[in-house]
Amino acid sequence: MGRYQDVFDSLNRAAMIPFFVIGDPDTETSLRIVKTAIDAGADILELGIPFSDPVADGPTIQKADIRALKAGMTPQKALAFIAQVSAYKPIPIGLLVYYNLIYQYGVDAFYRDFKQAGGTSVLVADVSIDDAEEIAPAALRAGLETVFMATPNCPDERLQQVVKYTTGFIYTVSLLGTTGERQRFSTLAKPLIQRLKRLTQTPVCVGFGISSPEHARQVAADGANGVIIGSRLVKIIEDNLNDKDQLYCQLQAFLAETLNALKTVQDDTSAN
């Protein structure tokens, strides 16, 4: 367990935040993948519980969800997984879930158990800021931080609501669309980061479509406090299902290169 602010305070660069689906392609491999990412210098982890109908996700993460579900992953097992990750290293862990999974578990019970497992925040992909009251108070009661999404098409009044409800970091969606790798990095991210920076001191972490160390460097240069890399990493898993050594090796190399890219951008540029 760890607090986001401690991480952001301790870095003079943008945080590297890898995303994985818990249990992809199976629990054991998934744990080794997450440990590889931690060893490669992840500052924060973003982990997803697989869902049968992930409407915010593109094909790469959809396939990861299917692999993890086929291998038997459940919300209960995901919490046990998170406890194992926390035991390996006390790193802040943001969870990404679809609402029905925590609704069935019971929102308060889920947040309590997630906190107990060492988690830091829960982002619910299909709950907008309009329904923050349904989940944010429960998160705070459980001692968790809160994370909500900001998107390029959010007007400033909505961004203000996002700011109001967010204690951890603002999950800033770089584009209009689902998760997935992109050739070019979205031009919509920079203006959104700038709008947020005018509104708040709360850290701004950018995700969706960040597919290369160069993209990561660019987002950091655009002023992001953290860079969330999902589909690109999950694709490495998909491409190396039959060769685990190769899988860990490629993940390690990609993250090391990304970290180096982030180190080339010093923090004082992120102030505006």
Partner 1 sequence: MKQKGRYGTYGGFYVPEVLIPAIEEIEAAFLQFQNDASFVAELNALLTHYAGRPTPLYHAQRFSEAAGCSVWLKREDLLHGGAHKTNNALGQGLLAKVMGKKKLIAETGAGQHGLATAMVGALFGMETKIFMGSVDVARQNVNVHKMKLLGAEVIPVSGGTCTLKDAINEAMRYWTANVDAFYLFGTAGGPHPFPMIVRHFQTVIGTEARRQCLDQMGRLPDFVAACVGGGSNAIGIFSAFLDDAAVKLVGVEGGGKGLDSDHHCATLNKGRPGILHGSQTYVLQDEHGQIHDTECISAGLDYPGVGPEHAYLKDTGRASYVAVSDEQVLNAFALLTRLEGIMPALESSHALAWLLAQKGTLPPDIVAVVNLSGRGDKDIGIVEEHRPIN
Active site residues: 46, 57
Restricting to residues 171-190, which ones interact with partner 1 according to CB under 8 A? 173, 175-178
Q: Is 223 in the site for partner 1 (CB under 8 A)?
A: no
CB of residue 54 to partner 1, shortest distance in Å:
8
Longest dimension (CA), the chain: 49
Phi/psi of residue 18, each to 5°?
-75, 150
Letters for 124-163 (x = contact with partner 1 by CB under 8 A, - = none) are -xxxxxxx----------------xxxx-xxx--x-----
Q: Do strands 204-207 and 170-173 pair parallel, antiparallel, or not at all (unpaired)?
A: parallel
State which of residues 27, 62, 202, 211 lies at the interface with partner 1 (CB under 8 A): 62
44 vs 149, beta carbon nearer partner 1: 149
41 vs 103, beta carbon nearer partner 1: 103
d(CA 6, CA 43) in angstroms, rounded, equals 10
27 vs 62, beta carbon nearer partner 1: 62
Phi/psi of residue 187, each to 5°?
-85, -5
State which of residues 19, 51, 81, 248 lies at the interface with partner 1 (CB under 8 A): 51
- Where do runs of H (alpha helix) occur along the chain? 4-10, 27-39, 59-70, 75-88, 99-105, 107-117, 132-141, 156-165, 189-199, 213-221, 231-239, 244-263
Letters for 95-114 (x = contact with partner 1 by CB under 8 A, - = none) are ---xxxx-xxx---------
The answer to whether 241 touches 33, Cβ cutoff 8 Å, is no
CB of residue 79 to partner 1, shortest distance in Å:
12
Torsion of CA 56, 58, 59, 62, to 10 degrees: -30
Restricting to residues 16-45, which ones interact with partner 1 according to CB under 8 A? none
Q: Which residues touch 64 (CB under 8 Å, ≥6 apart)?
A: 20, 21, 24, 25, 50, 234, 237, 238
Half-sphere exposure of 245 (CA within 13 A, CB side): 0
The token pair at 247 is 């899988």
Restricting to residues 67-86, which ones interact with partner 1 according to CB under 8 A? 69, 74-76
153 vs 187, beta carbon nearer partner 1: 153
State which of residues 1, 38, 56, 83 lies at the interface with partner 1 (CB under 8 A): 56
49 vs 142, beta carbon nearer partner 1: 49
Binding site for partner 1 (CB under 8 A): 51-58, 62, 69, 74-76, 98-101, 103-105, 125-131, 148-151, 153-155, 158, 173, 175-178
